[in-house]
Amino acid sequence: MTAAATEASSSASATPATPAPRGARARFLVVHDELELRLKLADIVRECWPQATVDTCTQAAARGTSAERNEPYQAMLAVIDFAAPATETSGPMDAVQKLREQAGVVPFVVIASGGDERWAVRTMREGVADYWPLHALNAADLGVALREAVRAQTARRERRPSGGSESVFEVPGYRLVKRIAQSTRAIVYLAHSEQLPQPVALKIQPIRAAEAVSSGDRERFLRECQLLSKLNNRAVADVYDYGVTDRCFYLAMEYFPCGSLRERLRNPLTQEESFNYTLQLAVALKVLHKSGVFHRDLKPSNLMLTEDNRLVLIDFGLARSSVLRIDVTSPNERVGTPYYMSPEQIEGHEPDERCDLYSLGVVLFEMLAGAVPYAGHTVREILDQHRTAAIPQLPERAARYQPLVTRLLAKSPADRFASADQLIEAMKELTPAAPAG
């Protein structure tokens, strides 16, 4: 745990928070480059506002979006390191100014690390809503400030003229049926295509400002969609169509009415099902990796089930490098992602195919044991276990798969399978246990 995260943890716990009104909902964005600290701050916000949706992202991700796309938030909170050495082109106030611009009409709260009264004055002159020293962060007072931000945003939205905002999501050739998923930057609809007999999942990222997307962004999006559409494997979701209109990017994908592995795991799997699902996923990762695509967010909610009980991978690769990326940690992902995150991701290193294999190891363990290998009361506990805790043992009934799990969950990438090919070969040496296992 870093000094900054420790500082946030100790100061925030000093004063109990007064929860928001029962049933009150709000959406906040926490911005910082260090995953552990921003997740800790997200926990503090939830302590103040139990019904809140709290997303998190890096400074680069926050700067890479437009003010219009941040409008769903009631407040943006950013940790700024005022002790960091300034360069000729950037410094703490540069970060404040740029993030304040990206916040737009959304109240912007600065949480200062290493700041003093002079920095506070300069920061408030930039029009920020509030300034808090990190070491004095008080959950109770922060809750009061957030409730005021929510009231201000609600009043502003009530004064705004109503309009058909859904019209910006129109895509020629598709009829939207219903919204099935949403984040701050993209919406997924069940849709009917004029060219296809079956329904599709249509993922849309609106473009609300001309300056928000460059020609390079458009070209990269189209190039990556073209690559993904050529991944011809039954364990990878089909990409039917993609494109760019004046108002949005869109991606039409295979629709899965049977739901995801997350729903399936509500009932125990047999060892045979667990083995077969893992082998399917290994083959899918082999296809992805040989095409230069790394998933980096493998988890049960991204594994869809077909009517013939196959697993199909969705949200692969594209979500990490293209214009359609979702660089925030959404509330559901905040619960799920730390459970499936590799040690090198936690440390901030650039992941490769062995990162996906680690996550697959977590999924395999969960299918066989009925629980994730590492759990805890806080996000920090979970992340620390991924980095330092011993690899847990499977129940005795599934012990025959322990060598696979041990190698997949190795702390060092060098100790894991080097590729999906190696994992597949190792699995060929095993035969799945009887269905009743």
Residues acting as catalytic residues: 297
Structure tokens that stand for 365 in this block: 């363990």
- What strands lie across the sheet with 200-206, from one edge to the other? 174-182, 187-193, 200-206, 248-254, 239-244
Number of H helices, E strands in the chain: 16, 12
Give the integer Cα–Cα distance in Å for 178 and 360.
32
Q: Answer yes or no: are the C-beta atoms of 398 and 368 closer than 8 Å.
A: yes
**CA 393 from centroid of its chain's CA atoms:** 28
- DSSP letter at 301 equals G
Q: Is 267 left (phi over 0), alpha (psi -120 to 50) or beta?
A: beta
Structure tokens that stand for 24 in this block: 């009150």
Helices 35-48, 331-340: axis angle to 10 degrees equals: 140
Q: Answer yes or no: are the C-beta atoms of 32 and 155 closer than 8 Å.
A: no
Give the integer Cα–Cα distance in Å for 134 and 82.
11
Dihedral over Cα of 115, 120, 124, 129: its sign: positive
- DSSP letter at 71 equals T
Structure tokens that stand for 44 in this block: 């503090």
Site of tokens 């999006």:
221
